[in-house]
Amino acid sequence: MNSSSPSRIVSLFLVLLFQFSFTSLSFAAQNQSFAFASFTFRNFTLLGDSYLRDGSVGLTRELNVPSTSSGTAICNDPIILFDPKTNTSASFSTNFSFQISNVNPESSGDGLTFFLSSDNHTHGSPGRYLGLFNSSEGAAGKKIIAIEFDTRLNPEFNDPSSNHVGLDIQSGPISIKTADASSSGIDLKSGNVITAWVDYQNEQKELIVWLSYLNVKPEHPLLSVSFDLSKNFNEVMYAGFSAATDGSTEVHVIKDWSFQTFGFPSSNSTSNSTVQQPRNTSDSKQNISPVLSVVPFSRSAHKSHKKLILALGITGPIIFCAFLIVFGWFSVKRWKAYGTSKHFKPDMIKGPRKFSYRELSYATKGFHSSRALGHGAFGTVYKATFHSGVTFAVKKSKHNHQGKSEFMAELSIIACLRHKNLVQLEGWCDEKGELLLVYEYMPNGSLDEILYQEPKLARTVLKWSHRYNIAIGIASVLTYLHQECEQQVIHRDIKTSNIMLDKDFNPRLGDFGLARLTDHDKSPVSTLTAGTMGYLAPEYLQYGKATEKTDVYSFGVVVLEIACGRRPIEKDAQSQMMINLADWVWRLYSEEKLMEAVDSRLSGEFEKEEMRRLLLVGLSCTHPDCMERPSMRRVLQILNNEAELLVVPRKKPSLTFSNSLPLSIDEIVSEGEEDLPTSLVELKIQ
């Protein structure tokens, strides 16, 4: 690159910026349109039990046994529905294809929705609340407009049948108006792909819904509602889909989707032109065209327009020149600073944003030790408080340059993951030779800190309901990582210190520094063994092959920690010998004293059946033979009491390996565990 390139690029950028700024000042909100023949993580935020598979969005769990489930998929791009400059509300038109199937039709319910919300994290209760509304708070202060496709009759909501469509506004799934889908010859839960068209015409204050098994809009609509939706429009709204079940095997899938707004002036419209008409998104010629009035161009408006042009002609060049000089100076200075070091440009998704080193340094008080939250294999985590009052957790990496490149490439994919039990990546910074990762802040710290508090500093003991919920949450997110992502994610470092707790003690799995991505149909690859002693599966120690079953083993150890309140490997107070937690619980189980393993700090305040189930799940997951361990989906079903427990042998099975280990102890212990005494490392190889 020659020396004039930075100035040329800066100049070009400034010209484009000026053109964009002038355009923004000249015109009001613009009409929007988009279409998805298939879905990707880059376009959607998935909440709850929703997942992506083969380009479609699944909203509820796909199980062969009845379950309670709810999920939401929300488009990341905001939709402008109200223009405060012109006090204009938009009309909109959308169509999408969906499928509601059921392996057991007798357990139908509850249905799905298409919705517009003022919040881009909308996720509600399962069952009759359709994964959109909250059972106790309705819409919880949000503005919500939803078209429900309901497959269960709920008399308390005035449902006409178990096969109806309705318009829901704000307060919950009590529809303003409903229509039985059978009147259009449609069975919502037939398992067939159904196409829906939804048009809202703001001028007429009318919403219309059509349904068909074909991809052609029917002549007669199923539902027509006269209602002013614009009263529930924010300037910016988010569109998405939700679904829920309650003791049902019903599965809800969205196949494709298109959406457009109309009613705002087009960018090339003149005072004498009509407003842009909607594009046909329904593969049909029967879209209703809005009848929109033409605003006359008065003489007074013409005079005001001339005055505005004159004022801009005088002051505009002066302001722009000043802006050009100041902005150009800062831009060239920053460009030169970037040229001193190789700069990373990860292909991040729209969600995470880039922070400046200066703002992160200020928020952490110069990465002062008093702001340190913890230390791990990939660096130190600091608490960062910004001027706005928002708090984040900032991880300062200690990778070398090559490690940074690999880690950022991996992180660019992992940042696309969306699950309610994952710590959310908020952004990154790669200035001054540092790699800083910004995550949402977890007020209750890590599970490790809560379980093993110093007696003098101990807060309230983690109660049983929270412990069991933590086990279910981590099982849910591992099911998502192992089986529901486009590429399988093997975490490789599941442990209590990597499980964070939010203000309500809900679990969030974090620290993907060791994670690996593989295709679902590929065999595991041998790598340098990494992780933390006490959590490593025996076959992983022996062969260095990370699979989903090695994650299952680590999860099993965490489950036993939750139930017993003991570390994976700790010194016995009486014998002074190092005790392996899984071995200790298995011995008590063989002696029919399983409940003696329960954390004494609970003082007997727990559900005995749930505790027994949790302990046996822990033993099943830590089975020495990886082939005998359950999948995480099966574990989740067991914890939700949706499947029977696996048979756990009374005596811990032994496992035979070759006598020569391919790895040394130094290679086995993770970077974050250098201070682990070698006496804790005990390999039982027969």
Q: Cα(193)–Cα(213) distance, rounded to whole angstroms?
A: 6
Q: Cα(74)–Cα(122) distance, rounded to whole angstroms?
A: 8
Helix (H, G, I), strand (E, B) or coil at 144: strand
Q: Cα(273)–Cα(403) distance, rounded to whole angstroms?
A: 58
Q: Cα(72)–Cα(418) distance, rounded to whole angstroms?
A: 11
- Is 504 marked active-site? no
The closest alpha carbon to 601, from 467, 493, 489, belongs to: 467
130: left (phi over 0), alpha (psi -120 to 50) or beta: left
Q: Is the dihedral of CA 370, 371, 377, 378 positive or negative?
A: negative
Q: Residues 150, 448, 493, 511: which is the catalytic one?
A: 493
150: left (phi over 0), alpha (psi -120 to 50) or beta: beta
> Is 396 part of any known ligand binding site?
yes
Q: Cα(262)–Cα(89) distance, rounded to whole angstroms?
A: 9
The answer to whether the CB of 54 falls within 8 A of the CB of 291 is: no
Strands 111-117 and 236-248: antiparallel
Strands 223-226 and 91-102: unpaired
The answer to whether the CB of 130 falls within 8 A of the CB of 242 is: yes
- How far from chain centre, in Å, is Cα 596? 38
Q: Cα(462)–Cα(447) distance, rounded to whole angstroms?
A: 9
Q: Which DSSP category does 203 fall into? A: T
Q: Return the structure tokens found at 519.
A: 């295709």
Residues 6+ apart with CB under 8 A from 501: 442, 443, 444, 445, 446, 447, 450, 470, 507, 508
Helix (H, G, I), strand (E, B) or coil at 53: strand
Q: Cα(359)–Cα(438) distance, rounded to whole angstroms?
A: 12
Name the one residue in this structure whose structure tokens are 């799905």: 112
- How far from chain centre, in Å, is Cα 2? 43
Q: Which residues are annotated as a binding site for ATP?
A: 396
Q: Which residues are annotated as a binding site?
A: 396
Active site residues: 493
